[in-house]
Structure 1
Amino acid sequence: MTMGDAPKPYDDTLPGLLLRRARAHGAKTALREKQWGVWQRFSWSDYLAAAAEFAGGLKKYGLGRGDIIILIGDNRPEWLFAELAIQALGGIALGLYQDAPAEEIAHIFQLSEARLVVAEDQEQVDKILGIRPELPHLAHIVYHDPKGLAGLDEPGLVSFEAVRELGRDQAGQFEAWTRELSPDDPCLIATTSGTTGRPKLALLSHKNLLAMAHNLGLVDAKRETDEFISFLPLAWMGEQMMAAASALLFGFTVNFPEDPDTVQENIREIGPHVIFSPPRVWENLAARVRVKIMETTPLKRFLYEKFLPIGIRYADARFAGRKPGLTLRLAYFLAWACLFRALKDRLGFSNVRSASTGGAALGPDAFRFFHAMGVNLKQIYGQTEIAGISCIHRDGAVDFTSVGQPIPDTELTIAADGEILSKSPSVFLGYYKNPEATAETLTDDGRLRSGDAGYFDEAGRLVVIDRVKDVMALEGGFKFSPQFMENKLKFSPYVKEAVVLGHGRGHLAAIVCIDAEIVGRWAESRGLTYTTYQDLAAKAEVYALVRDEIAGLNAALAPEMRVKRFALLFKELDADDGELTRTRKVRRAVVGQRYAGLIEALYADACTLHLRAEIKYQDGSVREMCGELRLEDVA
């Protein structure tokens, strides 16, 4: 498909595309879901029938144009059935993260005045029932997993299948409803990450979503024959970008894993052609391979240690734009036959053609690792407010510092203060019921203020530094990006989260959370016993491990950017505690307030600190943790 002859999708809608897919390829598999160990198949005709029937049921409930309907739960076909049904009636789908706390859910219900919610299972239904007295507009709670709900008698509680049955005689009206839609109609509300407070509700149109999918596809091709695994929350803009907009536009198959714990196994079974994950997923995969190599047979360990460096050299030559020499090509052929082919298959990446990561920077070591085995991994960049994507690396032009070049039909400029501004048909309609925030985010000529600081390198690629408001300065005036340093620290497989400090101080310090799984395996391989996360994080050997990792990072940085002191927190930073957003971005104000004593101690002469911290569970209960933290210098 070339830019000249490609159809512009801006004049279509998501339900309109579903109709066309079902007519042209009705028997082709659109969705799969693994249940009870068996992959269940849904054709495009099945997809259309489910959406049309559910839309008919919603219509009989009196729902239609302009109504907001909330969806919450794990990734299931019913989420997409409901979403397309809502949009066919001119309504707006609003997805919530399945682990969102009750207070946040109540706020969004009240703001949206939603009269119906599609809640996956007993857990989500119980959560909604617990706050129902605060939701005067809510009339219907629809569930699609009946386990544990059979005997529950609550007003308005009804199964997904019952709503379909109710609307079955109206399903034939789906095409007529769809004809009344405009590409400029709002169809989706996506919650922003909410790093500084409550999430805002970004309102997007059919045109926003399809323009993004179309333009991204021009530089990162998607095909009708592709397979995609949907395992990241459908409330996230990145997953909507793939599982809804791109799948409908290009016609590839979306697969839903059986369980969050079986994702890697299911990826291997399906062998996807397209995969998109945030950096932490890629980094965890690479780290787990390294851990398993430590536990494997001597022969496999020998092959890994012998051939991985060859793959890295081959990848580095490609990154530098050089054609690998004959000797290196022959060595890589042997490495492929002895190591990388089997490793790629083991990870389920044998068919991967389009692999991308976004949301934060991915470390050079992770890029090298995956490119060494032949996975063409690229960095992308964007925001919820631009339907997910504005930049991507091009094939053969992947580098470690930039996020690539703008996708077609997207214009990026840098404001006088360094902020990245975007203009494209994918820029959102505004924030729902928040005109003040909309006016702050959109310029008079319709450009999106990203809130990120950046610049273009000599090759015209965008380099993102940090959030404009988060750029900090040491007491001597040296400016630094805490996010840049945090990403550097998280390049270590042993570090799960980090918060870098230093604004107005004499040097940088860090609060670090270890990766319990990887550090735990490291400890076990050395005969170190432990009981809890707190016990593991307090061990001197683990402190020494992290200290060496930070020292290695410091060696490649300017003196002003080096982390001088650190502490290992006795708990993970958690979204339920308000320390992270649902997309795992640090809420600096919350961390600064909650750990004020620890921060002061890191800049004092103290070697230990007795710290108390509260842990909040999803059911609202609170438990207090306390313990001694060591405060260590980095040589």
Structure 2
Amino acid sequence: MNERNFRNFLVRRTKENGSRLLFQKKDGWSWKQITWPDLVTEVESIACFLLNSDFSTGSRIVVLSPNTLACLFFELAVFALGGICLPARNMKEAREILVNSSGNCFFLCASAAEARELVETSALGEKIEKVFLSANEKIPVEGKTVSYSNVVKFGFLGRKKLKDEISAIGSSVKEDSPAVIFDAGATAAESKTFSHGDILDLLRLSEEELGEISVEDQTFSYLPGCGSFSKFANLLNLQTSARGAIAEGTEDFFLDVPEIMPVMLFLPGAEIENVVNSLQGENGSGGNLRSDLGGRIRLLLTDALPPERTRDLLLAQNISVVKLSSLSVVP
């Protein structure tokens, strides 16, 4: 297990952390607790389903999905099999990636409507091996599109049989194997490839930028973009062992942040001013930003600093805005 790759990284971090809490996920009116072993089980279940869907080392998957917990787990499963994620900012970019791809691709998206739009387009549908949803929409089990819940359920059923194969594949992925390609629909000169080693190095550098972090520290993220900050920031919980929660969308962010009470908040620069303005209006108390953000926040981490006026408002309530430069390499 000498290769620096995500499978070996995840195994090592799980051994170090045991059964500690890693993520929390809203489940109705309560919160589901996800431990390190829970994460491994879910990632292996997804990887098992992918293997049974003819996904193999080097396979590519276009990702047109918000950066939710389900999306994170799915991407970790792709990495564990030596696959490559191709983030898309919108449907237009997803189409360009498919058109310019030299071979067939898998697809991860947030809704069945998006899946149908692509699958039913003859020229593009032929290039899609299978579509996976990062949400739990009810759709027929048969066909080219599979819901997240069915991926996990059927993958879990076959996990015991394929566990050793998944482990062997994952542990042998090379450090310089590509894991994520940004702007994959553009020319080779314009696209940006990150290997397993590249991303693990960025996570280590980010941890150094952050300084000392306790395993009891709570993080919360709302990352709607698909640049390097939005794609990699949620992986930082695996590096730092801090407990995390991830907003599913804008509405969930405002509903959940007072309950989560984060110490660190991850937001893209483009969203910070929107959040502050909203908390000063209909979604907040109108003045006490710290209280509206859970009362414990000390760091707001981003890829681009907001206007000085917004930074001053936050700093006045002891909330420091820090640009995490190591992760902010692809807009």
**Interval of TM-score (by shorter of Structure 1 and Structure 2):** 0.7 to 0.9
Q: How much has 1:263 moved relative to structure 2?
A: 0.5
Pick aligned residue for 1:38 from 8, 12, 30: 30
CA distance in 1, matches of 2:247, 2:319: 22
Does residue 1:265 correspond to 2:273, yes or no?
no
Q: Does 1:364 align with 2:304?
A: no
Partner of 1:281: 271
Matched, 1:242 2:182: no
1:139 partner SS? strand
Q: Do the aligned partners of residues 157 and 200 (structure 1) sit closer, same or farther apart at CA in structure 2, a change above 3 Å counting? A: farther
Distance 1:122 1:149, change over 3 A: same
Matched, 1:378 2:322: yes
Q: In the alignment, is the contact (CA less than 8 A) between 1:67 and 1:91 conserved in 2?
A: yes
Alignment partner, residue 352 of structure 1: 297
Offset of 1:266 from its aligned partner? 0.9
RMSD value, Cα: 3.3
CA gap of 1:120–1:162, structure 2 versus 1, over 3 A, is farther
Greater RCO, 1 or 2 (C-alpha within 8 Å, sep 6+): 2
2:181 corresponds to which of 189, 197, 202: 189
Q: Does 1:138 align with 2:82?
A: no
Query: Partners of 1:193 and 1:49 in 2: how far apart?
Result: 33
Distance 1:223 1:193 in 2: 40
Q: How does 1:263-342 map to 2 (within 5 A)?
A: 263-291=253-281
Contact 2:289-2:314 at 8 Å conserved across structures: no
In the alignment, which residue of structure 2 is the partner of 1:207? 197
User: Does structure 1 retain, via aligned residues, the 8 Å contact 2:64–2:94?
Assistant: no
Aligned residues: 325
CA separation of 1:41/1:95 partners in 2, compared to 1, >3 Å: closer, same or farther? farther
> In 2, Cα distance between the equivalents of 1:258 and 1:157?
20
User: How far, CA to CA, are the matches of 2:168 and 2:3 in structure 1?
Assistant: 17
Alignment of 1:61-100 (within 5 A): 61-97=53-89, 100=90
Correspondence for 2:50: 58
Contact conserved, 1:71 with 1:96, CA < 8 A, in 2? Answer: yes
Deviations 1:277-300 (A, max 9, x none): 23343223333455469x98xxxx
- Judged with a 3 Å threshold, the aligned counterparts in structure 2 of structure 1 residues 37 and 160 are, in CA distance, closer, same or farther, namely same
CA offset digits 1:152-186 (Å, max 9, x no partner): 85346563235514641212333322321222221
Judged with a 3 Å threshold, the aligned counterparts in structure 2 of structure 1 residues 280 and 63 are, in CA distance, closer, same or farther, namely closer
> Unaligned stretches of 5+ in structure 1?
1-9, 305-341, 390-449, 451-582, 584-635
Aligned residue for 1:174? 166
* Deviation of the 1:108 alpha carbon: 0.8
Q: Deviations over 1:232-262 (max 9, x none)?
A: 1363311222102x22211222312354312
Post-superposition Cα deviations, 1:317-342, rounded to whole Å, max 9, x if no partner, equal xxxxxxxxxxxxxxxxxxxxxxxxx5
Alpha-carbon contact 1:110-1:135 (below 8 Å) kept: no
CA distance in 2, matches of 1:257, 1:289: 16
Question: In the alignment, which of 14, 17, 31 is matched to residue 6 of structure 2?
Answer: 14
- Residue in 1 aligned with 2:114? 124
User: What is the alpha-carbon distance in structure 1 between the residues aligned to residue 203 and residue 122 of structure 2?
Assistant: 37
Q: 1-side partners of 2:122 and 2:221: how far apart?
A: 30
TM-score (norm 2): 0.84
Percent identity reads 17
Deviations 1:535-585 (A, max 9, x none): xxxxxxxxxxxxxxxxxxxxxxxxxxxxxxxxxxxxxxxxxxxxxxxx7xx
Q: Which has the larger radius of gyration?
A: 1
Q: Distance in 2 between matches of 1:292 and 1:263?
A: 14
Q: Are the equivalent residues in 2 in contact too, given 1:354–1:376 (CA < 8 A)?
A: yes
In 2: Cα distance, 1:219 partner to 1:144 partner: 31
TM-score (norm 1): 0.46
Task: Flag the 1:292–1:256 CA change in 2: closer, same or farther, 3 A.
Answer: closer
* Secondary structure, counterpart of 1:154 in structure 2: coil
* Paired position in structure 2 for 1:224: 215
**Residues 131 and 232 (structure 1 numbering): CA distance in 2 closer, same or farther, change over 3 Å?**
farther
